[in-house]
Amino acid sequence: MASDQSFGSVPQFYNEIYNIICPTSKQQVDRDIFVKLLIKSSLPSHTLIAIWDLVDKKQGYLTRNGLYKSLALIALAQQGKQIGETILDTYNGQDLPKPLLGDLSDLRELSMKLRRVKNPTRLEMEYSEICSYDTINIEIIPEKKGLFLKHVEYEISSQRQKTQVRRRYNDFVALHDLLLLRFPYRSIPRLPPKRMMGADAEFIEERRRCLKRYLTLICRHPIISEDRIVSFFLSFVGQDAQSKMRESFRNVPDEYVVSELALRAKELVPLDTHIQYSSNREQIGQFHASVCHIKEIAERIVSGTKLYSQDMTEFGRELTVLSTEKASESAWGTGGSKNWFLTKKTFRILQKNFAALSESLSTQTNNVDDGVVEDLNLLVDFLIAYKDLCDRHEKGVQQDHQRALTKMLSIKKKLAVNSVRGPDLTTTDLLETRIVEHENQILNMENRNYFSLHCIHMETQLVYIYMDLLHKVVQTLAELQTDGHNQLSKLWEEFQPILNKTFQKSVKSPTNSRPTSPINTDIPSNYLYH
């Protein structure tokens, strides 16, 4: 509990609400979001007006204190109490009541949308907010045979859409093609490759992981995730999804045509954008190299732990082989000692301990693979998508713009030559018409170029938001390694009492007789070793 309010102690729920609707450092609760919050309380309008009058400071927004006070007033009103200026005085030092507000996911989405509208050049998001957009899961459906070739189906579930659909790889290809046409100025991740023949279980599982990461990046993108194409892909349940998708969206214009920001893109692009773009692209290229190296290290950790698990299995197996030997040991070989008999008995007991070690290590392998390596793969996938976006910008919009300018200069040169040689009215009119057409084309290209730069600016900010994933990776690795080593330490400690017990028995069982031998016992024993 916190106690930063003069009228009572603040429950954790209040802080959670504040973090949802005001995640930035400005500490200002937007008025529109607060109104939405009031409506979610399901209180009558006259009560909501009364609460508003008590917390509104005529600033156009609410402070943190004002939000906490309103939450307490909502809770009391829901309990049937009369709202007034002094009603919270009795809660001095006590926990404030918790209001009933239902599902808060739409409140989170509204908060993010309003922030984008009010400041379109700043994302102002945390990685946790990116994750809150959606959670995607993909599972492989048991293999089916087509008319000629086998094909794999994937069952896709979306937490946000609350849907579960089946898709094939070619459905992802259709989605990918449409998204590239719809969002040419956004970071679109790459699809995993398609193997025509001989796709084994390992390849299919790796592709499942890649598709899950692909769809996760799409469904957590602040802009792309809101598009009808994505919603259709996650919800359509009819036959031949890819054909239906291509048919439904083939004539949909790209983002530039429909965006409200397109016509004012120039004013959204800072003057030093080209310098900043080059600098940040180089920096993000270094990010990519470092993250790839970290991923390789994490993969070696997984491989090492997996090998450790296999070694413990083989270690236990070999001890079991030794313990189950049926050959009888003669007193000639053992010297009459029972130590080997007790040791074999111990090996049989330790078989379960080695199996437990191997199982624990196998679990650690899977945990690091799923919790660390996959997150690093997700980050690498997005960094590659950003690189591809920059390549499209430099090879596409900029080159098209340069070609249009060159063509314009060529037309103007022809017009000037025609004027010098003598006015050919037909040729002059034609050239002037073409100049107007190309000027409009160049103007449109310039706007597209500015819009592309604006989008790259936003995608660059998104890269830095995704870089927070490294913090999660290191934290997860530290937790997994700590838990794993603690568990292994306990398992190894369980060996000690078993081994100590055997040693104690062997000490208590000395031999009192000389070993028997088929060789003449009158021969000095030291002679036998020469």
The rounded distance, in Å, linking the Cα atoms of 369 and 363 is 10
Q: Please, is 87 exposed, middle or buried when counting C-beta atoms within 10 Å of its C-beta (0-12, 13-18, 19+)?
A: middle
**Enclosing H/E stretch for 321:** helix 273-323
pLDDT at residue 299, rounded to an integer: 97
pLDDT at residue 140, rounded to an integer: 94
CATH 1.20.1270.60 fits 295-325+338-504, yes or no: yes
- Give tens-digit pLDDT for 285-314: 999 999 999 999 999 999 999 999 999 999
pLDDT at residue 4, rounded to an integer: 43
- The DSSP secondary-structure symbol of 465 reads H
pLDDT at residue 13, rounded to an integer: 87
- Give tens-digit pLDDT for 15-66: 888 887 776 656 678 777 888 888 888 999 888 888 888 887 777 678 888 8
pLDDT at residue 96, rounded to an integer: 85
pLDDT at residue 407, rounded to an integer: 53
pLDDT at residue 329, rounded to an integer: 67
pLDDT at residue 117, rounded to an integer: 73
The rounded distance, in Å, linking the Cα atoms of 168 and 162 is 20
How sure is the predictor about 398, in pLDDT bands with cuts at 50, 70 and 90?
A: low
- Give tens-digit pLDDT for 94-139: 788 899 988 877 777 777 777 777 788 888 888 988 998 999 999 9
| Range from 176-180, 325-329, 332-336 that averages highest in pLDDT | 176-180
pLDDT at residue 15, rounded to an integer: 85
Q: Is the pTM of the predicted complex or chain greater than 0.95?
A: no
Provide the terminal-to-terminal Cα distance of the chain, rounded to the nearest Å: 83
Mean of pLDDT values over 243-271: 90
pLDDT at residue 328, rounded to an integer: 64
What is the b/e burial string over 190-228, where b = at least 16 CB atoms within 10 angstroms of the residue's CB?
A: ebbeeeeeebeeeeeeebbbbbbbbbbbbbbbbbbbebe
- Asked if residue 2 has pLDDT above 50, the reply is no
The rounded distance, in Å, linking the Cα atoms of 227 and 387 is 23
Q: What CATH class is the domain 12-119?
A: mainly alpha
The closest alpha carbon to 199, from 156, 140, 241, belongs to: 140
- Asked if residue 86 has pLDDT above 90, the reply is no
More confident residue, 212 or 332: 212
- Asked if residue 400 has pLDDT above 60, the reply is no
The rounded distance, in Å, linking the Cα atoms of 445 and 98 is 54
The rounded distance, in Å, linking the Cα atoms of 289 and 295 is 10
Where does 282-392 show beta strands of DSSP type E? none
Inter-residue contact 66 to 14 (CB < 8 Å): no
- Asked if residue 467 has pLDDT above 90, the reply is yes
The rounded distance, in Å, linking the Cα atoms of 462 and 479 is 27
- Asked if residue 506 has pLDDT above 90, the reply is no
How sure is the predictor about 526, in pLDDT bands with cuts at 50, 70 and 90?
A: very low
In residues, how long is the chain? Answer: 530
> Percentage of the chain with pLDDT > 70?
80
Pairing mode of beta strands 150-158, 136-145: antiparallel
More confident residue, 74 or 428: 74
Q: Return the CATH number of the domain spanning residue range 134-258.
A: 3.30.1520.10
- Give tens-digit pLDDT for 356-396: 999 999 999 999 999 999 999 999 999 999 999 999 988 87
The rounded distance, in Å, linking the Cα atoms of 69 and 346 is 68
pLDDT at residue 530, rounded to an integer: 38
Tokens linked to 78: 């829901």
- Give tens-digit pLDDT for 53-79: 888 777 767 888 888 888 989 999 999
Give me the helix-helix angle, 64-78 and 12-21, nearest 10°. Answer: 120
Q: 326-340, 344-358, 515-529 — which is least confidently predicted?
A: 515-529
pLDDT at residue 375, rounded to an integer: 97
How sure is the predictor about 495, in pLDDT bands with cuts at 50, 70 and 90?
A: very high
Domain boundaries of the chain, sorted by first residue: 12-119, 134-258, 295-325+338-504
- Asked if residue 265 has pLDDT above 70, the reply is yes
pLDDT at residue 477, rounded to an integer: 96
As a whole number of Å, the CA-based R_g of the chain is 35
